């Protein structure tokens, strides 16, 4: 490790720029998610492989930089007062995200997202600031790769899902578990320790980022926590206002329902006229009884499932009766 203390080491602009790039990418992803959620576009970024990879790269960048910042901020000697101050700020922001997303959608709220992970990984990472570098790298590889070999339904329960190793994740808008993501934080720790000992950080520090784009990205990087907490309420608030004015959410939601319903119906009852009438009836009942919240809930009670089943059965019976009576009427 270097003999220069973290307190006296100059701030590395390249790291601020990297964090700024990550925050811009995150805003782009969340904006696309908001557009899809509110019906402005007819695609789901959570089901599109390129967008899923994009999202994972964003998360990986933030988690990797957590390890980088931990080493640069402390070196071999932990500066406890700055650490606990930063830890409290991040944890407070994480709890604010949990409260906000719970108010927005209790079924998929963020209970262990990026900020929760950064807070925990910062605390756990302290143990690896002086651990032999080879051991840190080995453990990182194990943490990242273990989920390929060990999966259990137990870790799919919300209570244990923050660990990872699930076979299927529970519903949440943002879930960043220990496996594999703490391994990425350890890679950040290992890479930074190597960079300091080999002089790479000294060369990185020579990059001053004087161009306008670099200065803008570096500023975003320095304010990344504030931007992370505030950007999504602002985006979703503006877009919800536009959706309300244009009525596009209701229109798109109905179109998506009819398309999905008819596709599913045709698999079991290959009669286009029946499926069109059946799905139209079901949509009318859902809208008349304001059942969208129940229909779109990630989890429903047995009573709600029975109510939906009764509704669809009634529509099926009505449509069949009309189709049987139609020839007699003619």
| Residues 153, 320: Cα–Cα separation, whole Å | 42
What is the pLDDT at residue 8? 53
Listing DSSP states for 148-205 in one string gives GT--BGGGGSTTTTTT--BSSPPS-S-B--HHHHHHHHHHHHHHHHHHHHHTHHHHHT
| Residues 177, 160: Cα–Cα separation, whole Å | 9
| Residues 19, 111: Cα–Cα separation, whole Å | 23
pLDDT, tens digit, for every residue of 54-78?
Answer: 999 999 999 999 999 999 999 878 9
| Residues 213, 217: Cα–Cα separation, whole Å | 6
- CB count within 10 Å of CB 185 equals 29
What is the pLDDT at residue 7? 52
Torsion of CA 263, 268, 271, 272, to 10 degrees: -10
**Plot region of 170 (φ>0 → left; ψ -120 to 50 → alpha; else → beta):** beta
Please give the chain's pLDDT, 330 residues, in tens.
344 455 556 679 999 999 999 999 999 999 999 998 888 887 889 889 999 999 999 999 999 999 999 999 998 789 999 999 999 999 999 999 999 999 888 888 999 999 999 999 999 999 999 999 999 999 999 999 998 899 999 999 999 999 999 998 998 999 999 999 999 999 999 999 999 999 999 898 899 889 999 999 999 999 999 999 999 999 999 998 888 787 777 777 788 788 888 888 888 877 888 899 999 999 898 888 888 778 777 677 888 888 888 888 999 888 888 888 765 544
Q: pTM value?
A: 0.81
| Residues 96, 11: Cα–Cα separation, whole Å | 29
């Amino acid at each position: 490790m270097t003999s220069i203390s973290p307190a006296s080491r100059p701030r590395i602009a390249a790291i601020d720029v990297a964090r700024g790039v990550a925050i811009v990418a995150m805003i782009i992803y969340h904006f696309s998610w908001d557009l899809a959620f509110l019906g402005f576009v007819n695609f789901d970024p959570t089901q599109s492989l390129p967008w899923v990879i994009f999202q994972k790269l964003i998360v990986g960048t933030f988690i990797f930089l957590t390890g980088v910042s931990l080493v640069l901020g402390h070196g071999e000697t932990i500066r406890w007062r700055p650490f606990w101050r930063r830890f409290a700020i991040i944890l407070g922001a994480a709890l604010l995200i949990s409260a906000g997303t719970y108010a927005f959608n209790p079924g998929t709220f963020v209970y262990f997202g990026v900020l929760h992970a950064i807070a925990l990984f910062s605390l756990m990472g302290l143990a690896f600031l002086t651990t032999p570098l080879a051991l840190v790298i080995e453990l990182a590889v194990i943490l990242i790769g273990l989920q390929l070999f060990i999966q259990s339904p137990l870790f799919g329960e919300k209570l244990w899902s923050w660990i990872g190793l699930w076979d299927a994740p529970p519903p949440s808008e943002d879930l960043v578990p220990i496996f594999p993501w703490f391994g990425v934080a350890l890679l950040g720790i290992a890479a930074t320790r190597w960079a300091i000992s080999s002089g790479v950080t000294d060369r990185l520090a020579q990059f001053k980022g004087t161009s306008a784009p670099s200065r803008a990205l570096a500023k975003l990087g320095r304010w990344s926590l504030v931007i992370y907490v505030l950007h999504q309420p602002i985006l979703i608030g503006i877009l919800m206002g536009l959706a309300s004015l244009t009525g596009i959410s209701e229109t798109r939601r109905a179109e998506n329902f009819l398309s999905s319903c008819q596709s599913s119906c045709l698999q079991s009852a290959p009669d286009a006229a029946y499926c069109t009438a059946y799905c139209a009836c079901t949509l009318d009942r859902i809208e008349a009884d304001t059942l969208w919240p129940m229909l779109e809930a990630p989890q429903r009670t047995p009573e709600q499932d029975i109510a939906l089943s009764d509704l669809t059965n009634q529509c099926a019976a009505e449509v069949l009766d009309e189709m049987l009576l139609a020839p007699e009427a003619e």
